[in-house]
């Protein structure tokens, strides 16, 4: 085909059937025209495709908008974005801490107790940090910066939600623009999750979290939010919050952390099981260095600080001991728990279960009366299996002991012989109500009789057999001595005399004295009787804590204090919610207390005292005491006091049976061994005598004030208001040792 044919060819699909050869000046012009015609021909097809694509996109956009709009409408109308929480007063599960006096009036942490969550709140005060307050003990700024740098770098700029991170995390779920899955949650969102425990995998959970985070940001400052966050996050090994984490991993308080340690704890947060420095030190180091780099990159630290921190070697303790926790509580701590729970229930009307839950989760600060050295001495003695004397049916001897000061503060107690193996089991110091035997005599008979001026130190009393219907008190020595002094009757633990005294007082008067003046609550109505009150064969009984508190009146001038194991309980805010600083009650007058103190000293220092062996345990200072044995020797007691402490010790079998005769002195022995350790190194001290009491010589035959003619004299203590008459059996001048000594010197 020639060129003319080419130019003149027709195309049936075109509107113009042919080209006019005369219309073109060249072949090229004809080809250009042809190409234009072809493009014009194809344009409708491309436009159609483009319109189709645009239509589909528009439909998708509209559909997406409807979906998103519907979702947002659902979110804002159907999803609850509110939070019933007050960040200024969080009601979370916190660890309860027991504090003890370190000996200088300052309290130190002793033990922690908690339920599911081990968490101790610590404050963040940016103002104090900026002022350089040396007394500041809160969260350090480096720790705050470390968490912000690695967890939420725009924390101080966003309103609770970092939309850039949120969108990026969302896109990454579908298009892997990052090498790993990205978290879009801010610190505020993480706090919401920690507070609500909302772990649902549904999209609505994320919407709730976002809305709640924005709500928190609208109500609270960034400082408050970061403080709450750092106190609620889980940080591995059952620790919650940065204080307990610092304790556990480094054995120090959070305010003592250095920069490297701050970065270490911040590194744990991503996944505690994977980044804990004790379990995975290499993984923690890698992430720790990343934390430090982010802090440097964001301007929180200098390059020098960065390099130093990177080279700092961590001393990871990772010890439960650093948390002051113990698997098995002491008997004292068990008793303390019970007392606080009971007091919470009593004061605030809680039921027992609620009070118990509160104890373990409210983060109380309990200021205990405990002296750890005294407790240790008691445990050393009572853990000695040599005292676990075997009895019938495979039983081993048990015992308990309570040590108190003279203000009612329990300094230590044990509730069993042998190693303690369970928490809050049977505590014999507080729960074993046993017959007190002869330890009842001073508190039920002698003290109220002297208080009421029925007798004095050297009153003559008649040890003789006397029947009460078909019963008569019988002495342990199998006979009767006739006329004896009160002092001798108490020294020898005569049975008849206190029964006669209770008869003179009246059983109800004696019972009321025990229950109303000495706080004894474990007796029964059946104990309003001569035998229980006069000889201690009670239907109810006493515990060692009650016994020690009752005997304390003989060493502190007659004041009764309700025994307590704590002085204060404070809540998280530092408000006192319980206080045991009770006012003392006058049980007996101070002159009666002095007379009783010296009478009971004769139990230890009298030539025939039943407690003579006690003197060898504490030779540097005086002891007043009383031994006690119940019927058939089922119970053995020794209760005694020094100028420092009063203590009550009991021994017996849980299922009652006689204690072998060869062990009849075991209660005194255990009391002595414990008290000798407790008093080791203490400065010698004297009991204070009342100015209303006086020391006088008396005639041992008549019990009256001695004259120089009396052949046998002894010293006694008397209330000035109830002095005996002058002896008329041996007439003469009142005996005056100083005058006689002066006369003797003159004769010489």
Confidence band of 81 (pLDDT split at 50, 70, 90) = low
Confidence band of 30 (pLDDT split at 50, 70, 90) = low
Burial of 568 (0-12, 13-18, 19+ CB in 10 A): middle
Contact in structure between 368 and 110 (CB atoms under 8 Å): yes
pLDDT at 80 over 60: no
pLDDT score recorded for residue 210 = 85
pLDDT score recorded for residue 573 = 82
Q: What is the mean pLDDT of residues 176-196?
A: 71
Q: How far apart are CA 401 and CA 646, in angstroms?
A: 11
Q: Which two tokens stand for residue 333?
A: 């701590």
Q: List the alpha helices (DSSP H) in 79-140.
A: 126-131
Contact in structure between 735 and 712 (CB atoms under 8 Å): no
Q: How far is CA 182 from CA 158, 164, 214, 270, in A?
A: 18, 12, 21, 11
pLDDT at 742 over 70: no
Dihedral (CA of 633, 635, 636, 642) sign? negative
Among 253, 257, 260, 701, smallest CA distance to 460 is for 701
Contact in structure between 268 and 276 (CB atoms under 8 Å): yes
In a 13 Å sphere around the CA of 149, the CA atoms on its Cβ side amount to: 27
Contact in structure between 361 and 115 (CB atoms under 8 Å): yes
Q: How far apart are CA 161 and CA 170, in angstroms?
A: 14
Q: What is the mean pLDDT of residues 87-106?
A: 87
Confidence band of 317 (pLDDT split at 50, 70, 90) = very high
Residue 142 neighbours by CB under 8 Å, 6+ apart = 257, 259, 262, 300, 301
* Higher per-residue pLDDT: 633 or 58: 633
Q: Which two tokens stand for residue 745?
A: 């010197």
Among 586, 640, 564, 584, smallest CA distance to 409 is for 564
* Higher per-residue pLDDT: 561 or 115: 561
Helix, strand or coil, per DSSP, at residue 391: coil
For residue range 207-229, list pLDDT tens digits in order: 788 888 888 888 899 999 999 99
Q: Which two tokens stand for residue 355?
A: 């009070």
* Higher per-residue pLDDT: 323 or 486: 486
Share of the chain above pLDDT 90, in %: 71
- In order, the DSSP letters of 236-255 are STTEESHHHHHHHHHSS-GG
Query: Which residue has 């090229």 as its token pair?
Result: 28
Residues shown for the chain? 748
- In order, the DSSP letters of 472-522 are ----TTSS--EEEEHHHHHHTT-SHHHHHHHHHH-HHHHHHIIIIIS----
Q: How far apart are CA 250 and CA 278, in angstroms?
A: 10
Q: How far apart are CA 403 and CA 678, in angstroms?
A: 10
Q: How far apart are CA 632 and CA 158, in angstroms?
A: 80
Q: How far apart are CA 33 and CA 14, in angstroms?
A: 13
Q: Which two tokens stand for residue 687?
A: 């009991």
Q: What is the mean pLDDT of residues 86-94?
A: 79
Q: How far apart are CA 468 and CA 478, in angstroms?
A: 18
Task: Specify which residues 734 forms β-bridges with.
Answer: 707
Task: Specify which residues 240 forms β-bridges with.
Answer: 119, 234
| Phi–psi pair at 97, nearest 5 degrees | -120, 135
Helix, strand or coil, per DSSP, at residue 316: coil
Contact in structure between 298 and 323 (CB atoms under 8 Å): no
Q: How far apart are CA 584 and CA 627, in angstroms?
A: 27
Lowest mean pLDDT among 321-325, 367-371, 573-577: 321-325
Helix, strand or coil, per DSSP, at residue 628: strand
For residue range 228-274, list pLDDT tens digits in order: 999 999 999 989 999 999 999 999 999 999 999 999 999 999 899 99
pLDDT at 575 over 60: yes
Helix, strand or coil, per DSSP, at residue 731: coil
Paired sense of beta strands 365-368 and 96-101, if any? parallel
Q: How far apart are CA 51 and CA 173, in angstroms?
A: 31
For residue range 400-447, list pLDDT tens digits in order: 999 999 999 999 999 999 999 999 999 999 999 999 999 999 999 999
pLDDT at 465 over 90: yes
Q: List the alpha helices (DSSP H) in 513-589.
A: 530-535, 544-551
For residue range 657-685, list pLDDT tens digits in order: 999 999 999 999 999 999 999 999 999 99
Among 411, 347, 370, 291, smallest CA distance to 108 is for 370
Q: List the alpha helices (DSSP H) in 132-180.
A: 141-151, 163-174
Q: Which two tokens stand for residue 266?
A: 């911040």
In a 13 Å sphere around the CA of 704, the CA atoms on its Cβ side amount to: 15
Q: What is the mean pLDDT of residues 565-579?
A: 93
Instruction: Give Cα 24 distance to the centre of its chain.
Output: 108
* Higher per-residue pLDDT: 224 or 62: 224
- In order, the DSSP letters of 441-464 are HIIIIIHHHHHTTS--TT-EEEE-
In a 13 Å sphere around the CA of 74, the CA atoms on its Cβ side amount to: 10
Residue 141 neighbours by CB under 8 Å, 6+ apart = 126, 129
Q: How far apart are CA 738 and CA 735, in angstroms?
A: 9
Q: Cα dihedral angle (295, 296, 301, 304), rounded to 10 degrees?
A: 140
pLDDT score recorded for residue 65 = 59
Q: How far apart are CA 226 and CA 232, in angstroms?
A: 10
pLDDT score recorded for residue 194 = 83
What is the widest separation between alpha-carbon atoms in the chain? 179
Arithmetic mean of pLDDT over the chain: 88
Q: How far apart are CA 408 and CA 139, in angstroms?
A: 38
Instruction: Give Cα 117 distance to the centre of its chain.
Output: 14
Q: How far apart are CA 411 and CA 641, in angstroms?
A: 14
Contact in structure between 232 and 118 (CB atoms under 8 Å): no
Q: Which two tokens stand for residue 200?
A: 């649902």
Lowest mean pLDDT among 143-147, 188-192, 366-370, 489-493: 188-192
pTM (whole model) above 0.85: no
């Amino acid at each position: 085909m020639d060129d003319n044919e080419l130019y003149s060819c027709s195309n049936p699909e075109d509107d113009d059937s042919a080209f006019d050869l005369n219309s073109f000046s060249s072949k090229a012009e004809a080809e250009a025209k042809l190409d234009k015609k072809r493009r014009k021909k194809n344009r409708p097809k491309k436009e159609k495709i483009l319109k189709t694509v645009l239509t589909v996109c528009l439909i998708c956009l509209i559909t997406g908008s409807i979906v998103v709009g519907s979702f947002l409408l659902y979110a804002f109308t159907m999803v609850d974005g509110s939070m019933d929480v007050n960040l200024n007063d969080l009601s979370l599960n916190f660890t309860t801490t027991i504090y003890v006096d370190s000996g200088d009036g300052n309290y130190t942490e002793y033990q922690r107790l908690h339920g599911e969550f081990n968490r101790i709140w610590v404050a963040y005060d940016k103002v104090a940090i900026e002022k350089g307050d040396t007394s500041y003990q809160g969260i350090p700024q480096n720790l705050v910066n470390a968490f912000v740098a690695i967890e939420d770098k725009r924390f101080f700029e966003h309103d609770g939600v970092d939309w850039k991170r949120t969108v990026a995390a969302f896109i990454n779920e579908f298009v892997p623009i990052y090498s790993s899955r990205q978290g879009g949650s801010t610190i505020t969102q993480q706090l919401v999750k920690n507070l609500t425990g909302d772990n649902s995998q549904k999209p609505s959970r994320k919407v709730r979290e976002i809305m709640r985070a924005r709500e928190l940001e609208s109500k609270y400052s960034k400082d408050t939010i970061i403080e709450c966050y750092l106190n609620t996050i889980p940080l591995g090994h059952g620790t919650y919050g940065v204080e307990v984490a610092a304790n556990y991993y480094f054995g120090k308080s959070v305010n003592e952390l250095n920069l490297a340690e701050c970065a270490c704890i911040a590194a744990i947060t991503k996944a505690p099981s994977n980044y804990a420095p004790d379990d995975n030190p290499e993984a923690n180091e890698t992430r720790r260095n990343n934390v430090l780099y982010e802090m440097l990159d964001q301007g929180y630290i200098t390059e020098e600080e960065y390099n130093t921190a990177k080279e700092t070697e961590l001393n990871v303790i990772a010890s439960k001991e650093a948390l002051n926790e113990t698997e098995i509580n002491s008997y004292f701590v068990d008793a303390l728990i019970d007392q606080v729970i009971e007091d919470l229930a009593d004061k605030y009307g809680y039921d027992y279960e609620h009070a118990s839950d509160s104890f373990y989760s409210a983060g109380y600060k309990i200021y205990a009366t405990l002296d750890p050295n005294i407790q240790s001495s008691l445990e050393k003695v009572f853990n000695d299996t040599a005292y676990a004397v075997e009895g019938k049916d495979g039983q081993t001897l048990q015992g308990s002991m309570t040590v108190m000061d003279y203000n009612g503060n329990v300094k230590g107690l044990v509730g069993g012989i042998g190693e303690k193996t369970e928490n809050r089991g049977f505590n014999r110091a507080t729960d074993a109500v046993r017959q007190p035997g002869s330890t009842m005599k001073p508190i039920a008979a002698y003290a109220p009789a002297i208080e009421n001026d029925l007798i004095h130190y050297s009153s003559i009393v008649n040890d003789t057999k006397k029947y009460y219907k078909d019963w008569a008190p019988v002495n342990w020595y199998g006979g009767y001595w006739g006329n004896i002094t009160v002092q001798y009757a108490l020294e020898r633990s005569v049975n008849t005399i206190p029964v006669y005294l209770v008869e003179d007082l009246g059983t109800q008067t004696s019972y009321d004295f025990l229950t109303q003046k000495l706080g004894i609550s474990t007796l029964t109505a059946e104990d309003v009787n001569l035998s229980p009150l006069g000889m201690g064969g009670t239907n109810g009984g006493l515990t060692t804590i009650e016994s020690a508190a009752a005997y304390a009146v003989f060493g502190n001038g007659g004041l009764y204090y309700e025994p307590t194991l704590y002085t204060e309980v404070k809540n998280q805010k530092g408000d006192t919610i319980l206080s045991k600083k009770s006012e003392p009650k006058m049980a007996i007058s101070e002159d009666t207390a002095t007379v009783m103190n010296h009478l009971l000293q004769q139990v230890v220092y009298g030539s025939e005292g039943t407690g003579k062996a006690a003197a060898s345990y504490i030779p540097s200072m005086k002891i007043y005491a009383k031994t006690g044995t119940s019927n058939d020797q089922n119970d053995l007691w020794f209760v005694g006091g020094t100028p420092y402490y009063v203590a009550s010790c009991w021994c017996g079998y849980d299922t009652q049976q006689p204690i072998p005769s060869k062990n009849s002195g075991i209660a005194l022995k255990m009391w002595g061994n414990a008290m000798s350790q407790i008093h080791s190194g203490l400065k010698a001290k004297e009991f204070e005598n009342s100015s209303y009491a006086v020391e006088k010589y008396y005639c041992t035959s008549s019990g009256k004030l001695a004259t120089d003619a009396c052949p046998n004299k002894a010293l006694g203590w008397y209330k000035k208001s109830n002095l005996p008459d002058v002896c008329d059996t041996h007439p003469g001048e009142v005996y005056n040792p100083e005058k006689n000594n002066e006369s003797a010197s003159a004769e010489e």
